[in-house]
Amino acid sequence: MITLTPRGHVPWQLTFAIPILAVVLTIMAGGVIFAILGFEPLETLYEFFIKPLSQPYQFGNLLVKACPLIIIGTGLVFCYRANIWNIGAEGQLIFGALGAGLLALSFPEVTSKWFLLPMAMAAMLAGALWAFVPAVLKVRYNTNEILVSLMLTYVAGFFLDWLVRGPWRDPMSFGFPLTPSYGDGALISALILPGIGRLGQLHWAVPLSFIVALAGWFVMRHSLTGFQVRVIGNAPQAGKFAGFKPDRVTYGVLLASGGLAGLAGMIEVSANIGQLQPNVSFGYGFTAIIVVFLARLNPLAVIVAGLVVALAELGGDAAQISLGVPKVVTGVFKGILLFMLLSGETLTHYHIRFGAAKLASKTQQESEHA
């Protein structure tokens, strides 16, 4: 028999090594999968992880791909550190896009870039309101926030689909489910680097995502709010004894997480799409969960983890175009990575013991002898 014994102390070397080991094992497993599918493993891995960085403009695209993952992941860190499992960031992202889109479509003649500020506020408010539903159900009726937040994702997706096919559809879209294009004031401008120029699709929201992650790290590590989140997540009874209110923490982390997911939705549409359509996200809300675990629930490490996962996403697109590798392989990559990370999390906090069967046999023999 195999038993798990909690570790009294988790070495920092183990905490640092487990995510790296998870990535390495995922790459090795990916090579095996490519070989089974009939692709040359080294060539395919090159397309996945090296080629997307072979040109300067592609690095800009990598940052753009990582931008929503970093923003959403920072919000999810607060939830998961408080032991509140928000799985519905995808739906909160969609509602954030809707909140910002309502303003953009209501005032298409606005050209000032300052208009992005109220759009961002509307997006965060809409995302937070969508996260408020599982929060209030969790606090009032002790419902499972995993199921509620996940199911609300599909509600949000169907609501968006109804709007772009009905009330918000552009009469000039020739029957396609698209809203009118945003005005100039609702679009996030490209980021022009001095001496370099435009770097791929790089835009001004990318540095904002880094600021969000840094702010999340500061709040988590150097504020009373972050301390409350950590205590309630690790030792709820101790938190209550200290006067902290778990219900207030539940509301706070879910609203913050939903607000940041909504902000990511606004950025994705305003920077890359320019109008609402049935699909405004490419699964960023779900992929960000992997980012959070790869970052070991550290807002600062979310930046690096977001770049790693974004690299796999871009690599999947490149391998699909150049080698014909099915796009679903990227999803397999992410699933294996999440499995490795969760397994590593178990190994980090528990010792594996193999002597239980022998002990049970010895106890049975002593009992029969007696």
Residue-wise DSSP of 260-291? HHHHHHHHHIIIIISS--S---SSHHHHHHHH
State residue 369's pLDDT score. Answer: 53
Residues of the chain with pLDDT under 50: 357, 359-361, 363
Whether pTM exceeds 0.85: yes
Contact (CB, 8 A) for 88 and 153: yes
Rounded to an integer, what distance in angstroms lies between the CA atom of residue 108 and that of residue 117?
15
Residue 3 host element (H or E): strand 3-6
Q: What is the pLDDT of residue 366?
A: 52
Q: Which CATH architecture has domain 67-324?
A: Orthogonal Bundle (1.10)
Dump the DSSP string for 106-166: H-TT---GGGHHHHHHHHHHHHHHHHHHHHHHHHHH---HHHHHHHHHHHHHHHHHHHHHT
pLDDT at 252: 96
Residue 161: the pLDDT is 96
CB 318 within 8 A of CB 48: yes
294 neighbors 341 (Cβ within 8 angstroms): yes
DSSP secondary structure code for residue 188 in this structure? P
pLDDT at 70: 97
pLDDT of residue 141: 94
- For the chain, the residue count is 370
Cβ-count burial of 229 within 10 angstroms (0-12 exposed, 13-18 middle, 19+ buried)?
A: buried
DSSP-derived 3-state class of residue 359? helix
pLDDT at 6: 80
Question: CA of 332: how far to CAs of 30, 153, 254, 352, 360, in Å?
Answer: 8, 22, 29, 27, 40
Here the tokens at position 354 are: 């193999």
The pLDDT of residue 123: 97
CATH 1.10.3470 in the chain, residues?
67-324
Q: In this structure, are residues 164 and 179 in contact, taking their beta carbons and an 8 Å threshold?
A: yes
